[in-house]
């Protein structure tokens, strides 16, 4: 099966749970995006791999026009329905791979993307495509999860994420994330970091949809008991597994070529 088909299958399964998961609706992250985008207020925004449209709907009223693209048809349907229900008439949605966007060059004032880079086979291709469609003074705002700089920890962490969600490719260490943004032709303006406490139950529930992740829970519990933290502070507390997701927020501008 191609990776694109895997993504479509996986995110069709996850769409409903994701749309209702508190982890996806945190107001603090929405406010970070709003603050970073204030120089582009009333502009044209693209939400790249918009999923069920949570971020796009939260930002829509500050922009003139908001476009959401995603590979998964069910995500596009849900994002469209969400904006329709909220009477957000300045929103448009398209099914498209992030690697090959159906837009003319230099069209967008800003591109936002959340929880997406770790699903792309080649993040650099996607970011080069983003550079193409951004205006020369446009803004790219990324929020994604990062992994440890230690190669064993990053491998272990990403293996656990892949066992939970087979469409997961790789959460990058911070240094690699910054490198790929740079190599794609951007200058980083600011970065920020924060931690998100996760419980195995809510993390698994977003993807389970009839599938059991009991074996993964056993693996993670055993790792925690052995002191293997996978760079995410993996631990077992009162019989349940917990860990910390490390978020990174990057605001960048295209470098003129």
Among 66, 72, 91, 147, interactor with ligand SAM by CB under 6 A: 72
- Two structure tokens written together for 212: 């059991």
The binding track of 174-213 with respect to ligand SAM, each residue x by CB under 6 A or -, is ----------------------------------------
Among 33, 108, 120, 249, interactor with ligand SAM by CB under 6 A: 120
Q: What's the rounded Cα separation, in Å, for the pair 99 and 101?
A: 6
If residue 16 lies in a helix (H) or strand (E), which one and from where to where? helix 3-20
DSSP SS3 for 28: helix
Residue 187: which of 133, 132, 139 has the closest Cα?
A: 139
Q: What's the rounded Cα separation, in Å, for the pair 159 and 57?
A: 32
The H-assigned helical ranges of 143-208 are: 151-164, 174-183, 200-208
Give the nearest distance from C-beta 55 to ligand SAM in angstroms: 5
Q: In sequence order, what are the residues at sequence separation of 6 or more whose Cβ sits closer than 8 angstroms to the Cβ of residue 155? A: none
Q: Which is nearer to ligand SAM, 70 or 109 (CB)?
A: 70
Q: Which is nearer to ligand SAM, 165 or 224 (CB)?
A: 165
Kindly state the greatest CA–CA separation across the chain.
55
Q: Is 11 in the site for ligand SAM (CB under 6 A)?
A: yes
Give the nearest distance from C-beta 94 to ligand SAM in angstroms: 10
- Taking CB under 6 A as the binding criterion, the range among 31-39, 44-52, 207-215, 225-233 that sits at the site for ligand SAM is 44-52
- Taking CB under 6 A as the binding criterion, the range among 43-51, 172-180, 189-197, 237-245 that sits at the site for ligand SAM is 43-51
Q: Which parts of this chain interact with ligand SAM (CB under 6 A)?
A: 7, 11, 24, 49-51, 54-55, 70-72, 75, 97-99, 114-116, 119-120
């Amino acid at each position: 099966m191609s990776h694109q088909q895997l993504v479509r299958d996986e995110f069709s399964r996850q769409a409903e749970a994701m749309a209702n998961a508190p982890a996806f609706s945190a107001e603090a992250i929405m406010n970070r995006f709003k603050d970073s985008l204030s120089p582009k207020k009333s502009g044209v925004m693209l939400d790249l791999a918009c999923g069920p449209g949570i971020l796009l709907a939260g930002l829509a009223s500050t922009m003139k026009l908001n476009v959401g693209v995603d590979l998964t048809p069910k995500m596009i349907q849900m994002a469209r329905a969400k904006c329709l229900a909220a009477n957000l008439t300045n929103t448009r949605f398209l099914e498209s791979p992030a690697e090959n966007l159906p837009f003319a060059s230099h069209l967008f004032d800003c591109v936002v993307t959340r929880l997406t880079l770790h699903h792309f086979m080649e993040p650099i291709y996607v970011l080069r495509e983003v550079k193409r469609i951004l205006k020369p003074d446009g803004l790219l705002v990324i929020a994604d999860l990062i992994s440890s700089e230690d190669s064993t920890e990053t491998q272990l962490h990403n293996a656990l994420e892949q066992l939970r969600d087979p469409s997961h490719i790789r959460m990058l260490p911070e240094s690699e994330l910054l490198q790929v943004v740079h190599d794609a032709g951007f200058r980083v303006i600011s970065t920020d970091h924060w931690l998100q406490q996760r419980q195995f139950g809510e993390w698994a529930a977003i993807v389970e949809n009839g599938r059991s992740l009991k074996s993964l829970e056993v693996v993670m519990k055993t790792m925690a008991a052995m002191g293997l933290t996978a760079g995410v502070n993996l631990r077992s507390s009162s019989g349940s597994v917990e860990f910390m997701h490390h978020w990174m927020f990057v605001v960048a501008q295209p470098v003129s070529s």
